[in-house]
């Protein structure tokens, strides 16, 4: 079975530009999570969805960040406008069932560099 | 903020030796999970231990949980170069639906030939 697929793997862009990160969760998984990983702050949960509905976006740092899940097989995380401090690795993860007893399956991330 | 903290931050051992990593957490949990992250890759789930369990094994992995001390340990026996990775513990945030995990700061393990 294919795992969680993220694209692009790497993105380099100038500050002020719009950035869109994409994620395809594992088929049949009903929870989708977006994380950000940096050396300073470690792995932080930004937002998660259940059955395509955003449940908790308390980790989204600013209004410049937005996430959507138009269907069960696709989600996007958008940053507009981007800033150098947004540089990080962004991970998408999915799970079957939402209670915290379920393992999360991670994609290989998008390494984002904002110049 | 992160709930878990791993100790040590970095560990370097020779192939064949055992590696032990520790995790401390702050609030009550119903389970604790360990994940591995290879360089440039996403996290991979290794093992889950429930709060009513004290020890669990999976292959060369042994996990212990002491809820009275709010700590867990991950032991990798007979380490291999392929075990070189960062290891994270993850604990659930039980408020607000209990669907979120918080990850520790990680232990970087290097296994040398």
Chain B positions touching A45 (Cβ under 8 A) are 100-102
SS3 labels along B12-75: EEECCCCEEEEEECCCCCCEEEEEEECCCCCEEEEEEEECCCCEEEECCEEEEEECCCCEEEEE
Residue B98's pLDDT band (boundaries 50, 70, 90)?
A: low
CA angle A7, A10, A13 (to 5 degrees): 110
**Euclidean distance between CA atoms B8 and B16, whole angstroms:** 19
Given a cut of 70, whether residue A98 has pLDDT beyond it is no
Given a cut of 50, whether residue A36 has pLDDT beyond it is yes
Given a cut of 60, whether residue B1 has pLDDT beyond it is no
How high is the pLDDT of residue B19? 97
Q: Is B97 on the interface with A (CB under 8 A)?
A: yes
Chain A positions touching B30 (Cβ under 8 A) are 100-101
Mean pLDDT for A71-98 is 95
Q: Is B25 on the interface with A (CB under 8 A)?
A: no
The pLDDT tens digits of the residues spanning B15-60 come to 999 999 999 999 888 999 999 999 999 999 999 999 999 999 999 9
Cβ-nearest to B45 among A91, A103, A108 = A103
For A44: left if phi > 0, alpha if psi spans -120 to 50, otherwise beta; the answer is beta
Chain A positions touching B48 (Cβ under 8 A) are 101, 103
């Amino acid at each position: 079975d294919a795992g969680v697929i993220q694209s692009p793997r790497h993105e380099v862009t100038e500050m002020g530009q719009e950035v869109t990160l994409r994620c395809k969760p594992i088929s049949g998984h009903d929870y989708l999570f977006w994380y950000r990983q940096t050396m300073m702050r470690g792995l932080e949960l930004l937002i998660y969805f259940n059955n395509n509905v955003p449940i908790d976006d308390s980790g989204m740092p600013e209004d410049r960040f937005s996430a959507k899940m138009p269907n069960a097989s696709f989600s996007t995380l958008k940053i507009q406008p981007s800033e150098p401090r947004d540089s990080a690795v962004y991970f998408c993860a999915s799970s079957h069932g939402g209670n915290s007893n379920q393992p999360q399956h991670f994609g290989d991330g998008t390494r984002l560099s904002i110049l | 903020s992160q709930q878990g903290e791993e100790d040590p931050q970095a560990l370097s051992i020779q192939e064949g030796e055992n590696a032990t990593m520790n995790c401390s957490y702050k609030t009550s949990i119903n389970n604790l999970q360990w994940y591995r992250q290879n360089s440039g890759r996403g996290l991979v789930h290794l093992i889950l231990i429930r709060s009513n369990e004290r020890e669990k094994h999976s292959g060369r992995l042994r996990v212990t949980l002491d809820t009275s001390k709010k700590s867990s340990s991950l032991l990798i026996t007979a380490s291999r170069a392929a075990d070189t990775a960062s290891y994270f513990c993850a604990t659930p945030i039980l408020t607000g639906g209990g669907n979120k995990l918080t990850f520790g700061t990680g232990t970087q393990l290097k296994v040398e030939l």
